[in-house]
Amino acid sequence: MDPAIELAARLLFAAAVFAIMAAWEVWAPRRRLAAGRRSRWPGNLGIVVVDVLTVRLLVPTAAVGASLYAAGHGIGLLHYLNLRLSVAALLGFLVLDLAIYAQHVVFHQVPWLWRLHRMHHADLDIDATTGVRFHPIEIVLSLLIKLGVVAAIGAPALAVLVFEVLLNATSIFNHSNVRMPPPVDARVRWLVVTPDMHRVHHSIIRAETDSNFGFNFPWWDRLFGTYRAQPAQGHQGMTIGIDKFRDPAELRLDRMLTQPFRDDAGR
Ligand SMILES: [Zn+2]
Ligand SMILES: [Zn+2]
């Protein structure tokens, strides 16, 4: 598949999910935003443009391309197992999600990777735009890791495409500032990471930042002991962000791009 078509499909789907979540945020917001939209959205949306252009320039193929390459050359664990396509697709999806979880944990633990990832955490609020706020170097690194995982397991192209599309959608969903009745949240979070669950991950409190690493499935956090149900200070009382970079000027696109290369007293 032409990577441009895959990218266009993902962008279109992500834009639709974004429009729905942004409307929901206006209709039923979970928290009063501390910094607001006007100071944050230009930077958060600007970085998406930088990310998309960087990936298009630097990485010749997307994850589906890696899957098709692996299939054409008989590479990858799943090709040897001779499973039914549906089973292979399901397994591929699960392994990819576990890999993203593991990658997220590593990006919190390795100091130079945290420098890249902490820009995602430096947002002073969390809403749908935070779900696409990643440093371009982190985006390229994650894509390379994903290409490696896809080739190593030989995940079917369909599973990879669905995974990519859903990962964008769930990231926008679980970062959004939407109110959901607690009983609904409690049920939904057994299947997919909810906004209340991921918000804990954006707490300024270290132990809370290092919890709820999942993006799609919430099961890995429960399985590996990194699950934290609610923030200690409640969703209204908690502070979003990290110690470093609390100056609103840091929400500007140029400052966001240079954050990884500036001193980090927090760690
Ligand atoms: Zn994180
Ligand atoms: Zn996040």
What distance in angstroms lies between residue 200's CA and the mean position of ligand 1's atoms? 10
CA 211 to centroid of ligand 2, rounded, Å = 11
Note down pLDDT in tens along the chain; length 267 residues. Answer: 666 777 788 889 999 999 999 999 999 999 999 999 999 999 999 999 999 999 888 877 777 888 888 888 888 888 888 888 889 889 999 999 999 999 999 999 999 999 999 999 999 999 999 999 999 999 999 999 999 999 999 888 888 888 888 988 999 999 999 999 999 999 999 999 999 999 999 999 999 999 999 989 999 999 999 999 999 999 999 999 999 999 999 999 999 999 999 986 444
Q: Which of 102, 109, 106, 121 is nearest to 203 (CA)?
A: 121
Ligand 2 centroid–CA 86 distance in Å is: 30
Ligand 1 centre from 19 Cα, in Å?
A: 24
Instruction: Please tell me the number of the ligand nearest to residue 210's CA.
Output: 1
Ligand 2 midpoint to CA 259 (Å): 17
Any idea which ligand is nearest the CA of 198?
2
Distance 157 CA to ligand 2 centre (A): 27
Taking the centre of ligand 1 as the mean of its atom positions, its distance from the CA of residue 209, in whole angstroms, is: 7
Closest CA to 138 of 162, 176, 110: 110
8 Å CB contact between 97 and 176: no
